A = this chain, B = another copy of it.
Amino acid sequence: MATISDIARQANVSRTLVSRVLNNKAGVSPENRKKILEIIEENHYVPNSLAKSLVLQKTNTIGVVMDDLCNSFFFKLIAGLQDAAESHGYNILFCSGQKDMATRLKYVDYLTGGCTDGIIAYGSCFDDNELFRYLAAKSANSVLIESNLSDCATDKILLDNFHGAYTATEHLIRQGRRHIIHVTCDMNYAVGLERLNGFVQAMRDYKMPLGPDSILYADHFEKIAYQQMQKRLAHGTRPDACFVGADKPAFGVLRAAMEAGLSIPGDLAVIGFDDDEPDSKDMLFPPLSTMRQPLYEMGQAGVSLLIDKMNHSDREPVVKSFDAELVLRETCK
């Protein structure tokens, strides 16, 4: 690989002149500039960004650590991150440990080791806290998305899950529903707990009955929610509304309800959470009402916050919270 010295030698000039040409700076005679540009072209010369970053103490690159790149839930987030990085003139790199913590910690080491100016990490799983603490300790220029770890003094992008769950539940109550239940998403995630809390609070505030079978525990997939709802419909009083902690389990709920012969939303109103994967299901189920999570905007905000922090390294950590938006579709009219 050609270096700046090679180019300088071939052009019979100093490296300084070549550097000036590369960075479009003044102080080079037109003839020399032309000659240098030609030689650069001939050699397919690309400046070594390592050396450049080393001397400038600036990489112009943002690193993103995901727990898994292979999940369509992240598409909007990734798009938001990419668009924002692009518009700010930053490169953005993605890496994931494929759910393996050791690998992800290795990537944090790598990304904090000089090749990026800052790092963004996403997740709300309690198991991820180790990663967030490790990251926060290593780099002041980092942003956590969806995690509200109090002992990490980094910037944070949050979704107000409590408020979103409250809003959804409140809507069902005001609609006149009497027997409202909640099917949780995975309780190993902070979002699961927060959404449950929002549901409970709304039910209490409106003096709605809250019994032992008002809450069914499921996860982020369809199956468990389906089974839980099946069981629930076989025993006890029939619910007439259900707030589900995520969209995937909401489809499980819908399936169980439809198989049990319930009409949607007449017999049972359903509201999910997240508003992901809208297209693949829309021939199987009535379109799902849900609390839309603005993942694209959250990604954009994460990049903005990070860049702001890099330019004001002494400012206090910022927490920016987003609200989920109630999107009413067929399952809750």
Could you list which residues of chain A lie within 8 angstroms of chain B, going by C-beta atoms?
Answer: 1, 44, 46-51, 53-54, 59, 61, 69-70, 72, 75, 78-79, 82-83, 86, 91-96, 98, 103, 106-107, 109-110, 112-115, 137-138, 277, 280-281, 283-284
Contacts and interface: CB of A to CB of B under 8 A. Distances in A.
A277 to B, nearest CB: 8
B103 A86 contact: yes
B86 A137 contact: no
Contacts of A98: 79, 82-83, 86
Contacts of A138: 44, 46
Contact of A92 (B53, B91, B95): B95
Contacts of A106: 91
B48 A114 contact: yes
A57 to B, nearest CB: 9
Given A47-B113, A50-B54, A50-B115, 17 more contacts: A44-B137, A46-B109, A48-B113, A48-B114, A49-B110, A51-B54, A61-B110, A69-B69, A69-B78, A70-B75, A70-B79, A82-B96, A83-B98, A86-B98, A91-B107, A92-B95, A93-B93
Contact of A93 (B78, B94, B277): B94
Contacts of A113: 46-50
A93 to B, nearest CB: 5
A44 B50 CA distance: 22
22 contacts: A1-B114, A44-B137, A46-B112, A46-B113, A48-B54, A49-B114, A51-B54, A54-B54, A61-B110, A69-B78, A69-B82, A70-B72, A70-B79, A72-B72, A79-B98, A83-B98, A91-B107, A92-B95, A93-B94, A94-B94, A277-B280, A284-B284
A202 to B, nearest CB: 32
Nearest to A285: B283
Contacts of A280: 277, 280-281
A281 B283 CA distance: 10
A238 B115 CA distance: 60
A210 to B, nearest CB: 33
A93 B91 contact: no
A284 B281 CA distance: 9
Contacts of A69: 69, 78, 82, 94
A134 to B, nearest CB: 9
Nearest to A53: B50
A313 B78 CA distance: 35
Contacts of A53: 50
A319 to B, nearest CB: 23
A192 B96 CA distance: 31
From A50, A61, A86, A91, residue with most partner B Cβ within 10 Å: A50
Contacts of A54: 48, 50-51, 54
Contacts of A1: 114
